Structure 1
Amino acid sequence: MKKNVIIITLASVVLVSAVAAGISFNNISNKVKAYDNVIYPGVKVEDVDLSGKTKVEALAILNQKYGDALIKKKINIKAPEKTYTLNYEKLSAKYNIEKIVDEAFSYNKDKGLLQKNKLIKSPTPKQFKLTGSFTFDSKPVKELIGVMQKEIDKQPANAAINMVSRGNFSITPDKKGSKLNTENLEKDILSKISGDLNGDVEIQAPVEDVQASITGDKLSKINTKLSSFSTNFSTSTAARATNISLATSFINGKVLMPGETFSFNDVVGQRTASRGFQEAPVIIGNKVDSGLGGGICQVSTTLYNAAIRANLQTVERIHHTLPSHYIGLGMDATVDYGNIDYKFKNTLEFPVYIEAYTENRNIVFSVYSDKSLTSRTYDLVNEVYDTMQPEVKYVDDPNMDEGVTETVQPASIGYKVRVYKNTYENGKLIAHDLITNETYNKVDGTVKRGTRKKQ
């Protein structure tokens, strides 16, 4: 009997324990189940505690605190004359809040019942960061930089020099330009675009000064005449005189910086009737014919003599096929647009200014530069060391009366000539340099003579 009582008692204890355990398990299960649709305790996103929040609630909280604040943020780019602003909203900047909420919501949901219960009873703090989910569109950055570049980039303005009276100059100062360093600016902007909400982004635009290639300081070195040369065209026709005056005017005021090369054809341009040039005598081969711009070779010759006396280096130059009446042998420079040019280079350390004008049927060229160059002067001298006499061939013409002649090809004496450049320092000859050794070939003449008997 006593044994049965003990058995019944034990059974009752087991039954009570089982019931109690069942009740406890149900409590745990219900407790854990209560977190199936909410975020576990101790879970934060940034500094926002989302414990017990549903996904919808968490999204609303985070969007209000971080999403709305983010699109109000600005990038301010300060340039010399203006501050440019780019809103984060235009960048489509955002956090992937849905992804972060999903991660926060899923945190520890894969654990077992007892582990979940333990985490609910004794939460382990867990913080998720938004910065890793930050994204933006960089295209508006490039677009803004393009706008800035158009407004900021400015070409410098070169200084200019004008002769206000013979030998006296006025200088218009140069102006600096500016250039936006677009590559550095883009790198700077992109590196500072972040999800950090601590104030707007402030950036200094990298704008560089662009110096003019011709400055007032450089042009101020033009203060003294180095050389001058003139030739006379008093025997020229009106058309030839027009061509000479026109070509000379195109050269007047030309400035040549150190290292620059002057091209006669580039400066004077093509000789056309629409530009005012006229038909006038011109040497073509061994004959004097008529052509547009006839007489311009006297301009290039006069300039050549002024330039070489200023110690400017000849780059390209040839003489005429026939001697020129207005200059000594070997001292001429012929030009033919598209075929023959006259070029010289400014090898001086200072800029030069070319004054050119016609006056009383004279072409005058003067070259100006720095006064320090005037201790030396230069001149050209020639030496004819051989002459070649032409022959004259007479051709009978029965269609012309006796005693009548007609020159078909004028005869021209040939010459061999050496040209020297003399250098004087303070008036004393210090150099006598051969610069050209040239030949003007003789031209045999042809004369028709009449044989027809007069009636």
Structure 2
Amino acid sequence: MKTLTGLYGEENNSIKKSRSLKSLRRKKFLLVSFALLFIMIFSVGTLALVYTRDQQRILEGVKVSGVDVGNLTRDDAKKIIDKEVSSLLSQTIVLSVGQQSPKVKLEDLGLALNADLALQEAYDIGRKGSIFEKVASKWSAAKGVNIDFSQEWDESKIREALKGTLDEFNDPATDATFEITKDNIMTIKNDQKGLIVDSEELLLRIKEINLYKMIPELKAEFTEQLPLITAAQLEDQKITGLLASYTTRFDPAQTARTENVKIAAKALDMAVIKPGSTLSFNQIVGERTVEGGYKDAFVIVNGEFVPGLAGGICQVSSTLYNTGLFANLAVTQRSNHDLAISYVPLGQDATVAYPDLDLKFNNNTGGYLLVRTKMSYNSITIEMYGKVKPGQEVFIGNTIDSTIPAAERRVVDETMAHGASVLKQQGQPGYVVKSIRTVKLNGVVVSNEPLKQSRYLPLPKIYAIGP
């Protein structure tokens, strides 16, 4: 007869065996499950790889601008897309301008379509991301995907096309104009308002066009255009009379110099300067050349009189300078000669050399300025006409601040007799001159303006002596 302990032992062994069998069965189940899962994942992955294999073609169901490019190579799709782009850009916009309806192609308006970018986007579908993202993209593409071109407009081309198309419909404003008669009278022709197509408003509406939903036409609106210069403005700036006149004299026997003076004076005659603009001697007269008729005559270079092209022209600029001074113009550039000259007072000359050494005034009269020149056989007169200020008088005062004595030089002349002496050059002293322009209005001094100081070098007295 078994003991109670023995019975318990057998029962425990039975329980252990049962548990061991269950554990073994569980392990087998897990192993089988893992194996099946691995096989399933491997199979799905293999199928996915096969499904998403890159065949160098755009996926089925993909369209660009509504054109089916599915299952096409990139090159074949590009040919089709290029035709679509050409077709879209050849569409025309009808511009309603009054009773007229001109047409303009989208291409001429500077429309550009991103065909290459759209093609790349179509080609990339199903080729980016993880294997599962590629699968999802392919499934989505199979349901249908359309990629539209984006539009870019070139504003400069729009403006150019509109100008070429609509200019004939514009009635632009006409500025007031004037003519100067031989009697120095300013006659004014009235201005006129205009009507022009509002191209800027039309440009904005063109940029909003959807090329996939073309509108029948765009109505061009007209806007009033005002003249830039009105008759009222010209009337306020009108030449009313003579501002100043100045005359200098020359030796007509110096024929080359006289001819140079005449050419420069003729170039200045009838010059018109707008209010606030600059009167430039070099700009008006231009470069002095042989082709222009200028001749060699004496000029001052480095304190000496030497032959040079267009000698004598500084008499014209000096005459103009004095006329400008007495017209009370603002002097913005002026240089005196190296040596004192005789045809204007000390301190009232102006030398010029093209292009940098210039004589310039600012037209500060508030009106237009007219330059007139007159020639006699031995004199030049320059007049300035403009907006006269009643009661205005101008005076120029010059003061010699210091005198620089002239040196004496003796030059041996082998052709002369021993001990002989001849004066070859009459010397002259140098000067430092201060000038003031005084302006009176109705007899009352309103300004005392210091002008640029003038400094003249001395000219040595030269004797030729025998050996």
From 158, 172, 180, the equivalent of 1:163 is 180
CA 1:430 to 1:412, structure 2 compared with 1: closer, same or farther past 3 Å? Answer: same
Mapped partners of 1:439, 1:424: distance in 2: 28
The answer to whether residue 295 in structure 2 is matched with residue 278 in structure 1 is yes
Secondary structure (helix, strand or coil) at the match of 1:328 reads: coil
CA 1:308 to 1:183, structure 2 compared with 1: closer, same or farther past 3 Å? Answer: same
Report the CA distance between 1:444 and its aligned residue.
Answer: 2.5
Map 1:307-346; keep pairs closer than 5 Å.
Answer: 307-346=324-363
Report the CA distance between 1:315 and its aligned residue.
Answer: 0.7
Map 1:292-371; keep pairs closer than 5 Å.
Answer: 292-371=309-388
CA 1:246 to 1:88, structure 2 compared with 1: closer, same or farther past 3 Å? Answer: closer
CA 1:399 to 1:301, structure 2 compared with 1: closer, same or farther past 3 Å? Answer: same
**Stretch moving more, 259-268 or 133-142:** 133-142
Q: 1:4-39 CA distances to partner (integer Å, 9 max, x unpaired)?
A: xxxxxxxxxxxxxxxxxxxxxxxxxxxxxxxxxxxx
Mapped partners of 1:352, 1:234: distance in 2: 30
Report the CA distance between 1:345 and its aligned residue.
Answer: 1.0
The answer to whether residue 277 in structure 2 is matched with residue 260 in structure 1 is yes
The residue type paired with residue 418 of structure 1 is K
Secondary structure (helix, strand or coil) at the match of 2:218 reads: strand
Partner of 1:421: 437
CA 1:79 to 1:271, structure 2 compared with 1: closer, same or farther past 3 Å? Answer: farther
Mapped partners of 2:302, 2:89: distance in 1: 81
The residue type paired with residue 420 of structure 1 is I
The answer to whether residue 219 in structure 2 is matched with residue 203 in structure 1 is yes
Contact between 2:108 and 2:158, CA under 8 Å: does it hold in 1?
no
Report the CA distance between 1:358 and its aligned residue.
Answer: 1.9
CA 1:247 to 1:444, structure 2 compared with 1: closer, same or farther past 3 Å? Answer: same
Report the CA distance between 1:157 and its aligned residue.
Answer: 7.7
Q: 1:65-84 CA distances to partner (integer Å, 9 max, x unpaired)?
A: xxxxx999974435589653
Mapped partners of 2:186, 2:377: distance in 1: 24
Contact between 2:198 and 2:220, CA under 8 Å: does it hold in 1?
no
Mapped partners of 2:294, 2:250: distance in 1: 17
Mapped partners of 2:89, 2:326: distance in 1: 73
Contact between 1:142 and 1:186, CA under 8 Å: does it hold in 2?
no
Secondary structure (helix, strand or coil) at the match of 2:340 reads: coil
Partner of 2:255: 238
Q: Structure 1: which 5+ runs fail to align?
A: 1-69, 93-131
Aligned residues with identical type, % of pairs:
26
Partner of 1:391: 407
Partner of 2:163: 149
Mapped partners of 2:100, 2:253: distance in 1: 63
Contact between 2:89 and 2:106, CA under 8 Å: does it hold in 1?
yes
**Stretch moving more, 183-192 or 220-229:** 183-192
Contact between 1:243 and 1:296, CA under 8 Å: does it hold in 2?
yes
Report the CA distance between 1:368 and its aligned residue.
Answer: 1.8
Secondary structure (helix, strand or coil) at the match of 1:400 reads: coil
Partner of 1:440: 456
Report the CA distance between 1:356 and its aligned residue.
Answer: 2.2
Mapped partners of 1:333, 1:81: distance in 2: 63
The residue type paired with residue 310 of structure 2 is G
The residue type paired with residue 399 of structure 2 is E
TM score, norm. by length of structure 1: 0.63
Q: Structure 2: which 5+ runs fail to align?
A: 1-87, 112-145
Map 1:53-64; keep pairs closer than 5 Å.
Answer: none
The residue type paired with residue 329 of structure 2 is L
Secondary structure (helix, strand or coil) at the match of 1:280 reads: strand
The residue type paired with residue 450 of structure 2 is L
Mapped partners of 1:334, 1:167: distance in 2: 28
CA 1:412 to 1:370, structure 2 compared with 1: closer, same or farther past 3 Å? Answer: same
Mapped partners of 1:316, 1:238: distance in 2: 30
The residue type paired with residue 442 of structure 1 is P
From 381, 391, 403, the equivalent of 2:397 is 381
CA 1:438 to 1:445, structure 2 compared with 1: closer, same or farther past 3 Å? Answer: same
Contact between 2:193 and 2:224, CA under 8 Å: does it hold in 1?
no
CA 1:414 to 1:74, structure 2 compared with 1: closer, same or farther past 3 Å? Answer: closer
Secondary structure (helix, strand or coil) at the match of 2:366 reads: coil
Mapped partners of 1:414, 1:156: distance in 2: 59
Contact between 1:73 and 1:200, CA under 8 Å: does it hold in 2?
no
Report the CA distance between 1:138 and its aligned residue.
Answer: 6.9
Mapped partners of 2:89, 2:360: distance in 1: 64
Secondary structure (helix, strand or coil) at the match of 1:446 reads: strand
Secondary structure (helix, strand or coil) at the match of 1:327 reads: coil
Contact between 2:153 and 2:207, CA under 8 Å: does it hold in 1?
no
Contact between 2:195 and 2:225, CA under 8 Å: does it hold in 1?
yes
Secondary structure (helix, strand or coil) at the match of 2:275 reads: coil
- How many residues were matched structurally? 340
Report the CA distance between 1:432 and its aligned residue.
Answer: 3.7
The answer to whether residue 206 in structure 2 is matched with residue 189 in structure 1 is yes
Report the CA distance between 1:173 and its aligned residue.
Answer: 5.8
Mapped partners of 2:372, 2:99: distance in 1: 41
Contact between 2:398 and 2:435, CA under 8 Å: does it hold in 1?
yes
The residue type paired with residue 351 of structure 1 is Y
Secondary structure (helix, strand or coil) at the match of 2:324 reads: helix
Mapped partners of 2:98, 2:325: distance in 1: 48
Q: 1:228-267 CA distances to partner (integer Å, 9 max, x unpaired)?
A: 1111224452221111111112122222222211221121
From 90, 95, 105, the equivalent of 1:77 is 95
CA 1:90 to 1:250, structure 2 compared with 1: closer, same or farther past 3 Å? Answer: closer
